[in-house]
Amino acid sequence: MLSKQIIAVARSRAFFASRGAQYPAVSLSKGWKIADTHIRRAQLHSKTVKVPQMAESISEGTLRSWSKQVGDTVEADEEVATIETDKIDVSVNAPSAGKIVELLAKEEDTVSVGQDLFIIEPGEGGASAAPEEPKTDPEEPRDQQLDKTTPEPRAPSAADKQSAPEGPKESKKEVKKQDSKPKEDKSKAPISAPKAPGNRGETRVKMNRMRLRIAERLKESQNAAASLTTFNEIDMSSLMEMRKKYKDEVLKEHDVKLGFMSAFARACTLALKEIPAANASIEGDEIVYHDFVDLSVAVATPKGLVTPVARDGKLTLEDMAGGTFTISNGGVFGSLYGTPIINLPQSAVLGMHAIKDKPVVVNGQIVIRPIMVVALTYDHRLLDGREAVTFLVKVRDYIEDPRKMLLASS
């Protein structure tokens, strides 16, 4: 993009051309030399920022929006653009303070890792340099210098006043008639007509990249996996009592709220080690058994469902991929029953649901207990019914008596 100095020289060249030979080519040649100096100086100091590396499995994304425009100043690490990927939005920040010189891509464009994104001209504190005032060369003759003073408007002479035609004079009656009419307020915007009842309009919205990827993955799972779901009921009394007793202490010591998800994560981890097929995956004609458990937790976001894997107590972009088993908690939205879809290449997914008081029989007596229905959807190509049901029963036993999780071998 041309800098302000180049634009100024280009405009002056057009001005000189319109004046003909009155201004010789000496001034034009000198103007272009000055512009060339500015171009070289900008090239030496400007820096091209590329699309950053996002994750191993992500090679491109959609440029969702520009936070800054050409001419805006930025501070170091200030967000300039947002790139939408299949899993998460990635912010592109300024490497240093300076001024945005050029944007090399448009919004909604598909950009690849390593592609040139924008050009920044470094500066102190992101402040732009003060514009330089044009200087006249004292060696040039006065008749070759551009007169930049604005000519003052000439006062009308007496002859001009006499020659100017006089407009028709309005009578007093016409003036009164005009004053009697109400004045219309032109500043008011026209009021749009309200929509008629029973309107059958439609609104089309382009699917974002994350939603397209979710649709592709879920349909792939339905087509590839031999999905089957088994259900069970869990009495949540013991876990709810333990949570009520220790939640304040856990919050005080660890600054973390004690919820039900942590107990289910622990129970699933122990059960997966006892039933390794539920933690395995199919690759080609081979079964891959993992010696580790990477637990994915389904998280609902405004743009779609993601399943991050928290491996080291923190979440990074790389944790948006992988996982050997998934837990989905639809109970937070009030779901009573559901059949979750397997997240390939995983072989199973556990679905948690809402807790409801139900009458159950305990030691021959009908009592009211808080019951949660859990569902395990598994790939029948890899797991048989015996293994799937055994896994779900082990999870139930761990939750109904949390002390068993302390006795289990890790």
Catalytic amino acids?
380, 384
Amino acid, res. 77:
D
347: nearest Cα among 322, 319, 377: 377
Q: Which two tokens stand for residue 119?
A: 């050009």
Tokens 């390794």 map to which residue? 276
88, 317 in Cβ contact below 8 A? yes
Report the alpha-carbon distance of residue 253 to residue 184 in Å, rounded: 70
Beta strands in 164-285 (DSSP E): 227-235, 281-283
Report the alpha-carbon distance of residue 274 to residue 268 in Å, rounded: 10
390 SS3 class = helix
379: nearest Cα among 247, 229, 270, 173: 229
Phi, psi of 248 (to 5 degrees): -70, -40
115: nearest Cα among 107, 105, 129, 125: 105
The DSSP letter of residue 385 is: H
